[in-house]
């Protein structure tokens, strides 16, 4: 078994605003092997790094654009989204932090850590696989360059399969579930990882995933006792808001 991967959920999101460059930088400083981010498409077809389908929770959109009936990411241009404050909600020290583009994150991470890129709601953004390919290519993350390991995941398994067919050289992950046993066996030929909620992990699941030559990266675990339990069960990585804590647990195990 290789080293258990430290995967920082939305960056070091216990310590900095999720899915922002400060959270990503901190994740690298805290020992993350990979940083997990969420990607959505804006009104003008750009790829922005943000978790929710709407802007209100993690930005000041309602203050900056008063009177809008809805605050969907897909209803705002990238320039509008970039004008928002995506840090103050977390704390005054992060006032003025912006929603990053995927390209910015790829540039910030290149050569420093890997990327676990989650595509949110791909069915609502037809053609997003080709958009991703263009941005990944422009940033030098395709073709085995020095950028870093890249895994693309989604809870939309049909999209994951379509993305794999478009870019067979990029490892892909099936998020959520986990898939039923026959589907796990069927994914063995093309998927790199199965990433379920941590409470779903059993010894049988670990065995089945490993029998298919895949790895298991459960989410989201911030409790050291649960981290140790999962490590004992044989998981290959853990997705956490606290990468420094997981690195510490691993150093002591
Ligand atoms: O990578 C696992 C995790 O990110 C899935 O849940 O809602 O945080 O995107 P969510
Ligand atoms: Ca995610």
- Whether 207 is a known active-site residue: answer no
Left (φ > 0), alpha (ψ -120 to 50) or beta: where does 21 sit? alpha
Contact 173, 194 (CB under 8 A): yes
Q: Per the residue annotation, which of 15, 30, 51, 192 is the catalytic one? A: 51
Query: Is the pTM above the cut of 0.90?
Result: yes
Question: Mutual orientation of helices 128-138 and 157-166 as an angle, nearest 10°?
Answer: 50
In contact, 124 and 54? CB cutoff 8 Å = no
Q: How far is CA 19 from CA 49, 61, 248, in A?
A: 6, 16, 23
Nearest CA to ligand 1 atom 7: 51
Tokens of 102: 């995927």
How would you write the pLDDT of the chain (253 residues) with one tens digit per residue? 689 999 999 999 999 999 999 999 999 999 999 999 999 999 999 999 999 999 999 999 999 999 999 999 999 999 999 999 999 999 999 999 999 999 999 999 999 999 999 999 999 999 999 999 999 999 999 987 667 799 999 999 999 999 999 999 999 999 999 999 999 999 999 999 999 999 999 999 999 999 999 999 999 999 999 999 999 999 999 999 999 999 999 999 7
Q: Name the CATH superfamily housing domain 5-52+100-252.
A: Phosphatidylinositol (PI) phosphodiesterase (3.20.20.190)
Ligand 1 contacts (CB < 6 A) are: 9, 36, 38, 51, 118, 175, 195, 219-220, 239
Spatial distance between the Cα atoms of 21 and 99, rounded to a whole number of angstroms: 8
C-alpha dihedral sign at 7, 114, 99, 97: positive
Closest by Cα among 97, 101, 78 to 88: 97
């Amino acid at each position: 078994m290789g080293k258990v991967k430290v995967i920082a959920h939305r960056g070091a999101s216990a310590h900095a605003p999720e899915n922002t460059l400060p959270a990503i930088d901190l994740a690298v400083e805290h020992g993350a092997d990979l940083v997990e981010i969420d990607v959505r498409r804006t009104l003008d077809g750009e790829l922005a790094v943000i978790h929710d389908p709407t802007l209100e929770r993690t930005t000041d959109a309602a203050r900056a654009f008063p009177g809008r009936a809805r605050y969907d990411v897909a209803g705002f241009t990238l320039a509008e989204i970039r004008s928002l404050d995506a840090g103050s909600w977390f704390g005054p020290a992060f006032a003025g932090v912006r929603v990053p583009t995927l390209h910015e994150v790829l540039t910030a991470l290149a050569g420093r850590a890997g990327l676990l890129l989650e595509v949110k709601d791909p069915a609502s953004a037809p053609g997003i696989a080709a958009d991703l390919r263009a941005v990944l290519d422009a940033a030098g993350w395709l073709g085995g360059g020095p950028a870093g390991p890249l895994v693309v995941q989604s809870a939309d398994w049909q999209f994951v399969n379509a993305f794999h067919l478009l870019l067979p050289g990029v490892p892909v992950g099936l998020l959520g579930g986990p898939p039923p046993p026959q589907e796990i066996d069927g994914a063995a030929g093309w998927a790199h990882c199965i990433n379920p909620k941590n409470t779903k992990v059993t010894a049988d699941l670990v065995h089945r995933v490993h029998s298919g030559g895949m790895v298991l990266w459960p989410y989201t675990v911030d409790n050291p006792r649960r981290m140790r339990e999962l490590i004992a069960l044989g998981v290959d990585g853990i997705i956490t808001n606290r990468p420094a804590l997981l690195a510490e647990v691993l150093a002591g195990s």
